[in-house]
Amino acid sequence: MAALVRRPRWRGRLVAAHHRRLGDRGHGLPLRPRRGPRHPAAPGPRRARAAVPRRVGRLHRRGPPAVALPGRRPRRRPGAGPPPAARGVHGGHRAGRRRPLHDHAGDEPRRRLRDPGVRRVNGGVVHGGLLAHGAAEPGSTLGPTVALVGVAAAVVAVYLAGVARLRDASPCSSWSWRRYAFVAGVAVLVAVLLPPVEPVVEDSFPAHMTQHVVLLLVAAPLLALGAPGLPFLLALPRRWRHRVAVVRAAGPVRRGRALATVPVLVVAVHAAVVSAWHLPVLYDAALTSTAVHVTEHAAFLAVGWWFWSLVTLPTAQLDGRAVLYVVASGLPMNLLGAVLTFAPRPLYPAQTGTGPDALTEQQLAGLLMWVPAGVVSLVLCAVLVLLWLRRLERESPAGVPLPPPGVPAEIRVATREEVQR
């Protein structure tokens, strides 16, 4: 019976030495000794008590495990509970808090997420592995619609406040018609990006291409005609305007602005962005991710506004080169429309599918990108030519007739007598 006496579980016996002796009866771990006047801290680095796992610390307090000698039955410590055979499946002392082997009846959503045929995309449960941007309840689009309209109204209010200050400073400025262009551009932008419109756009490939055409050739030119840079700057408080002026006057910023107004660079970036986002890889990524889709629209709007600012700003030089820039910027969309129209197979099966109507839908989208986009580009070129002629007429002196076509008076062919002389 003496062998079955339980060892005392007081801590002083365990901390008599800094390390327990290693042997056949188990491995000891370093423990933190008791600190105080009678027990100073042991020299050298010591391991924090919190770093030792709870289960390992419990084994240290109980002492080393008993080792079965050959030919003898292993002894068990008193108070260790029933033998393993009597503990059941979940253990004797833990049977009261055993974990169920199946989900509860009300835990259907959690069990559905563990289904291998269901995955989570952008915070929502998606069946079938494909997420459509418009796959939402009809009532859930009211909040995003109100938010989008509110942001657009705030932007227009700030712009009009800046235009009012600008007109007070120069009443003869041309901002009376530019503000209408900016408001129209914001209205068009909100109309094509409203949440109720997104399901229609995502379900129809021609509607999606029409949305891209409107962003690049309607909304972006109208916003650029509004020239929002100066009105937004004047709408800021005086202290903020001073800070922005200091930043704009810095050397790197001035060099960057000069580089951003190089027409060849702007046209090249515009063509590269439009062509890259219509590659099947990026297009399919925009269909399956809301963040990528928003990035795509922001890129179209940014490069469109950047390009059209070259030919619509008050300080822009309207001449024959502006018409060439407009024609060059429309080439990527015209080429893409031709490719979609004459392609022998569907190029975007993620949206058009592979059915019998997929090729017809793709050809319709190609025609919408080819013909209407070409007509809009032609109209814009005609407007630029008219503005160019109007500027030439305004800059020419009044009442001075233009010289007749032909050889100028100071350049003439020398006669034979003059040559012999």
Domain residue ranges in the chain: 135-393
Confidence (pLDDT) at 174: 61
Confidence (pLDDT) at 23: 46
User: What confidence tens digit (pLDDT) does each residue in 400-419 have?
Assistant: 555 554 444 444 555 656 65
Question: How much of the chain, in percent, has pLDDT values that exceed 90?
Answer: 10
Token reading at 66: 């008993």
Q: Is the pLDDT reported for residue 20 higher than 60?
A: no
Among 110-119, 189-198, 381-390, the range with the most confident prediction by mean pLDDT is 189-198
Residue 190: CB atoms within 10 A of its CB come to 17
Tokens 């922005």, residue?
244
Amino acid at 363: Q
- Please tell me the predicted confidence (pLDDT) of residue 387: 76
Report the SS3 class of residue 198: helix
Q: Letter for the amino acid at 389? A: L
Non-local CB neighbours of 168 within 8 Å, separated by 6+ positions: none
User: Please, which residues bridge with residue 118 across strands?
Assistant: 127
Helix axes of 238-248 and 251-260: crossing angle, nearest 10 degrees: 80
- Nearest in space to 15 (alpha carbons), one of 49, 51, 44: 49
- For residue 61 the two structure tokens come to 């307090």
Supply 381's token pair. Answer: 């070129």
pLDDT in tens, 216-256: 988 998 998 888 888 888 888 888 888 888 888 888 888 88
How far apart, in whole angstroms, are the C-alpha atoms of residue 262 and residue 171? 32
Highest mean pLDDT among 107-116, 212-221, 391-400: 212-221
User: What percent of the chain lies above the pLDDT cut of 70?
Assistant: 56
pLDDT band at 420 (very low <50, low <70, confident <90, very high): low
CA angle 404, 408, 410 (to 5 degrees): 145
pLDDT tens string 320-357: 777 888 888 888 888 888 888 888 888 888 777 777 78
Q: Is 80 exposed, middle or buried (0-12, 13-18, 19+ CB in 10 A)?
A: exposed
| Tokens representing residue 102 in the block | 């199946």
Between CA 82 and CA 86 the distance in angstroms is 6
Give the model's pLDDT for residue 81: 54
pLDDT digits (tens, 9 = 90+) for 35-84: 555 555 555 555 555 455 555 555 555 555 555 455 555 555 555 555 55
Tell which wins on pLDDT, 104 or 363: 363
Sign of torsion over alpha carbons 168, 170, 171, 176: negative
The pLDDT of residue 400 is 55
* Euclidean distance between CA atoms 202 and 352, whole angstroms: 10
Whether 206 and 157 have beta carbons less than 8 Å apart is answered as no
113, 125 in Cβ contact below 8 A? yes
* Dist. CA 89–CA 108, nearest whole Å: 26
pLDDT of residue 273 exceeding 90: yes
The Cα angle at residue 146 between residues 143 and 152, in degrees rounded to 5 = 140
- Residue 144 corresponds to which tokens in the numbers above? 């995003």
Contacts of 276 (CB under 8 A, 6+ apart): 282
Q: What is the mean pLDDT of the chain?
A: 70
pTM score of the predicted model: 0.58
133 pLDDT higher than 60: no
Average pLDDT over residues 88-113: 42
pLDDT in tens, 153-200: 999 999 998 888 887 776 656 677 888 889 999 999 999 988 888 888
C-alpha span between 124 and 288 (Å, rounded): 12
CA atoms of 344 and 363, how far apart (whole Å): 10
Q: Residue 70: its pLDDT value, please?
A: 53
